[in-house]
Amino acid sequence: MLIKDLKPRMTFDSIELEIVTKGEPRAFSNASGQGTVCSAAAKDSEGKEISLTLWGEQYKEVNDGDKIVIKNGWTSEYQGQLQISTGKNGTLEVIK
């Protein structure tokens, strides 16, 4: 799958991306609980970029330039920008 195939609020089986930049993690607290979230920019094999949300300890797993695979992920939209995440049921794996 490529970024151009993604639409807001959809699930997908698998996508391979490269981390372009990773931001600083920040704490959050809401009605569902609290934890850590980190924003990153990622690109696909065509060079198209997307915002990637890293939840919990995921931000420790990836660095700029890493190639990753997200399986069973989902997309959302924030302020008109498409975002991608593993959500609660997905997985993120760094490709060696």
Please state the domain extents for the chain.
3-95
CA pair distance 29, 9, nearest whole angstrom: 22
The fourth-level CATH superfamily of domain 3-95 is Nucleic acid-binding proteins (2.40.50.140)
Please report the pLDDT score of residue 49 as a whole number: 97
Please report the pLDDT score of residue 87 as a whole number: 86
pLDDT one-digit tens code per residue, 21-56: 999 999 999 898 899 999 999 999 999 999 999 999
Is pLDDT of 88 > 90?
Answer: no
CA pair distance 14, 92, nearest whole angstrom: 10
Which secondary-structure segment (H or E) carries 59? helix 58-61
CA pair distance 20, 35, nearest whole angstrom: 24
Please report the pLDDT score of residue 33 as a whole number: 87
Kind of pairing between the strands at 49-55 and 81-85 = parallel
Contact 72, 90 (CB under 8 A): yes
Task: Tell me 28's DSSP state.
Answer: E
pLDDT one-digit tens code per residue, 57-84: 999 999 999 999 999 999 999 899 999 9
pTM: 0.91
Q: How many CB atoms lie within 10 A of CB 22?
A: 19
CA pair distance 25, 30, nearest whole angstrom: 16
Kindly state the average pLDDT of the residues 1-19: 97
Kindly state the average pLDDT of the residues 2-14: 96
